[in-house]
Amino acid sequence: MKNKMSWPNFHHLLYFWMVAQHGTISQAAKELLLTPQTISSQLRDLEKSLGEELFIRAGQRLSLTERGELVYTYADEIFGLGRELMETLRAGHTRQLNLRVGISIAVPKAITHHLLEPAFELERSVRLVCHEAENQTLFSELILHSVDVLLTDTPVPNTIKAQAFNHLLGECGVSFLCTESLAKKYRKGFPESLNHAPFLLPIEGTTLRASLDRWLRNLNIQPEVVGEFDDSGIMKAFGKGGRGIFVVPQVIEAEVCRQFNVRALGRVDEIIMRYYAISVERKVRHPAVIAICEQARTGLFAET
């Protein structure tokens, strides 16, 4: 005989959620029209059933423990959906589809926009919530189910032991861009002409920087590094001002040239940029993520 499934007490979970939001039992009791003693008793029962302490006292307020943070993440989603259900029923329309996306800071904004745009073309309306961070933070959020999908330029690292799957969206080479005056000076003899040329580079530790450094070393090219950036938009702005040559994925070359009034100095197919959607599902089920993956492969990266 199979073991009976153990369910959380949702009343206890609601009281925990309210206390976590307000920071004090007394304030949560006022909201719930209950006595503080009742709330305290229910919280003790919840902690006993979970076998973990969920709060630590910090002065007059209660702070979440590490386990409490995890429980709060799920409780917030559960009661957020409950609130959404009631609002949807009152409004009398089809439930809006939520899409929570974690975006690596290494993914150019233009590529992010192109990748996410198909989510708005579904028959159901979509509410998009985007969070940009470094990959390590994003992988943690995916494992905790704080986001539905990640957009990154690197696959899941071997150090991540939790279940996560790479869905390749596409790949392309890179383009070297700069102002017209710099292009006239360095275009002839490209790429050897890049030796001692002024460069604007992504910061060390990014996939593009590692690939670019390796390519330059192989050709024995030593650029003059004018600046290093973790924000590609700022890097492009300095490129527009003529401060140096910068590199972008080929799929957004034309768009960046129009927006920043720069020119293509040269293109390199040996430096390959790959972009992934990463989910906890082997087969993507979220309708918006399916649309993103399909459009990326048949649209943005189709020619590459």
H/E element holding 176?
strand 165-178
Q: What is the pLDDT of residue 90?
A: 64
pTM: 0.69
Exposed/middle/buried for 288, CB within 10 Å: 0-12, 13-18, 19+? buried
Rounded to 5 degrees, what are φ and ψ at 64?
A: -75, 140
Q: Return d(Cα 151, Cα 85) in angstroms, integer.
A: 29
pLDDT value of residue 98: 87
Instruction: State the residue for tokens 């990326």.
Output: 296
Q: Which residue has the tokens 């309306």?
A: 125
Q: What is the pLDDT of residue 262?
A: 97
Q: Give the pLDDT confidence score for residue 8 in this predicted structure.
A: 74
Mean pLDDT, all residues of the chain: 88
Render pLDDT for 103-155 as a digit per residue (tens, 0 to 9).
999 999 999 999 999 999 988 888 999 999 888 888 888 887 888 899 999 99
**Which residues, other chains included, contact 66 with Cβ-Cβ below 8 Å and sequence gap of 6+?**
none
Helix (H) or strand (E) holding 113: helix 109-116
- The pLDDT of residue 1: 44
Tokens of 183: 């292009």
Distance CA 209, CA 94 (A): 45
- C-alpha 124/C-alpha 120 separation (Å) is 8
- What is the set of domains in the chain, with CATH numbers? 10-90 (1.10.10.10), 95-170+275-300 (3.40.190.10), 171-273 (3.40.190.10)
Q: How far is CA 217 from the centre of its chain?
A: 31
Per-residue pLDDT of the chain (304 residues; tens, 9 = 90+): 445 556 778 888 899 988 888 888 888 888 888 898 988 898 888 888 888 899 888 777 888 888 888 888 888 888 877 776 676 666 555 667 889 999 999 999 999 999 999 999 988 888 999 999 888 888 888 887 888 899 999 998 877 766 788 999 999 999 999 999 999 999 999 999 999 999 999 999 899 999 999 999 999 999 999 999 988 999 999 999 999 999 999 999 999 999 999 999 999 999 999 999 998 888 888 889 999 999 999 988 987 6
Sign of the four-CA dihedral 212, 214, 217, 219: negative
The predicted pLDDT at position 84 comes to 67
Quickly tell me which residue has 């745009």 as its tokens: 117
pLDDT of residue 161: 65
Q: What percent of the chain is modeled with pLDDT above 70? A: 93
Side chain identity, residue 277: A
Token pair 């040996």 in the structure block, residue:
270
Q: Quick one: pLDDT at residue 93? A: 58
Other Cβ atoms closer than 10 A to 85:
11
Contact 51, 61 (CB under 8 A): no
